[in-house]
A = this chain, B = another copy of it.
Amino acid sequence: MATWSLAAHDLVREELDQMQAVLDHLAGSRVPLLARACRHVLDGRGKRIRPTLLSLSARAAAGDDYRPSHDAVLLSAAVETVHVSSLLHDDVVDGASVRRGRVSVNAEWGSPISIFTADYLLAAVFQVLATPENVELLRGLATAVMRMCEAEVLQASSVGNLDVTEDHYREIIDGKTAALMSTACRIGALAASTESSRATRLAEFGRAFGMAFQITDDVLDIAGNAEEVGKPLGSDIRAGYFTLPIIALRNGADEATAAELRALLGRGTRISDDVVAEIAASVRASGALEYCQRVAGTYVDEALDHLSALPASEARQALEALCRGLLDRHS
């Protein structure tokens, strides 16, 4: 478990444990290989950041005397499963062989199994949420999935394009990451409280949090520590995704350095660990890292601002701490 999110987890540990039981249920299939693949990805190695956001948002919206309902636990399982399902397709697209510190489903059982396991889990989420009480929340989650897919298509169609703009990058991470985190916060709040203005605030919080989260994630992929991160560094540049650290590096480079960078990054999947280390060093030396921290910091400030509109509570405090911790995370 990542240290930056430990305090937040502590507050919602009971709900996360209950959620695991729902995940185990979702992973059940009469086809043994499918059940095995589902368990492989839902077994509890993730940071559980989206369910944590959802549970804390429920508490922050309802106040400290909030007691989680069965539906809230179900929703947590749903957002985590949607996330895991998207990772399964990402790993196929990227040909990733490691995920969360262990072998990926596509590497273990092949891409077809990864593709259909993801589809199965997505359908299972909508199946368990298909009750009259949850129908609004189900619609919100479906919309988030649509946003995620749109972002994936945007990302896929700019693979290998070093001229990608910062605006384009922001649009991608907004859909890829911020949309689901925003939805997690919103539906958590809606499940716990009838105060719709709080749900709106928490949705905005979640979006800004998601933007900061993804930027720090992209920084870790190039300038982090592989062991702490749980997967090899440089996966983005190998896949041809040029994220904020690279965009900032390119924007600040003179023509000769930019041409050099272009030549290095043009190698795609054949980019060696040494090249990754070299680019990481440039990112550090050029001030691109500080730039990323500043941009992430802007989103953290925005997220904190939204939180400040909510009544004080232990949960709000935990969300604040989670948010501030983003700027200092290592995994």
In the complex the two chains form, is B93's CB within 8 Å of A120's CB?
Answer: no
Within 8 A of B (CB), among A101-149: 110-113, 115-120, 122-124, 126-127, 130-132, 135-136, 138-139, 142-143, 145-146, 148-149
Known: A115-B89, A132-B135. A142 touches B124 (CB 8 A): yes
Per the bound structure, the CA–CA distance linking A89 and B142 in Å amounts to 19
Q: Are B33 and A117 in contact (CB under 8 A)?
A: no
CB A172 to nearest CB in B, in angstroms, measures 10
A256 in contact (CB, < 8 A): no
- B123, B146, B152: the one contacting A112 at CB < 8 Å is B152
> Which of B33, B34, B92, B113 is the one whose CB lies under 8 Å from A115?
B92
A217 to B299 alpha-carbon distance, docked (Å): 54
Complex CA–CA separation, A148 to B291 (angstroms): 47
- A31 interfacial contact with B, CB 8 Å: yes
A150 interface contact, C-beta 8 A? yes
Residues of B within 8 A of A146 (CB): 29, 120, 123-124, 127
Do B33 and A157 have beta carbons less than 8 Å apart?
A: yes
Would you call A261 an interface residue if the criterion is a C-beta within 8 Å of the partner chain's C-beta atoms? no
- Chain B nearest CB from A106 CB (Å) reads 12
CA distance A132 to B117 in the complex (A): 28
Question: Which residues on B sit within 8 Å (CB–CB) of A30?
Answer: 150
What is the interface size of chain A, counting residues whose CB is below 8 A from a CB of the partner? 44
If A117-B153, A135-B132 touch, does A111 touch B93 (CB 8 Å cutoff)? Answer: yes
**Residue of B86, B126, B132, B148 touching A132 (CB-CB under 8 A):** B132
Q: Are B154 and A31 closer than 8 Å at their CB atoms? A: yes
Residues of B within 8 A of A124 (CB): 142, 146
A145 to B138, CA, bound (A): 16
Query: Which chain A residues (63-94) contact chain B, with CB distance < 8 Å?
Result: 86, 89, 92-93
Contacts A37-B153, A120-B149, A123-B145 aside, 11 further interface pairs with beta carbons under 8 A come to: A29-B146, A31-B154, A33-B153, A34-B149, A34-B153, A113-B157, A123-B143, A126-B138, A127-B146, A130-B135, A130-B139
Residues of A within 8 A of B (CB): 29-31, 33-34, 37, 86, 89, 92-93, 110-113, 115-120, 122-124, 126-127, 130-132, 135-136, 138-139, 142-143, 145-146, 148-150, 152-154, 156-157
A-B pairs, 9 with minimum CB distance: A130-B139, A123-B145, A120-B149, A127-B142, A112-B156, A116-B152, A34-B153, A126-B142, A93-B112
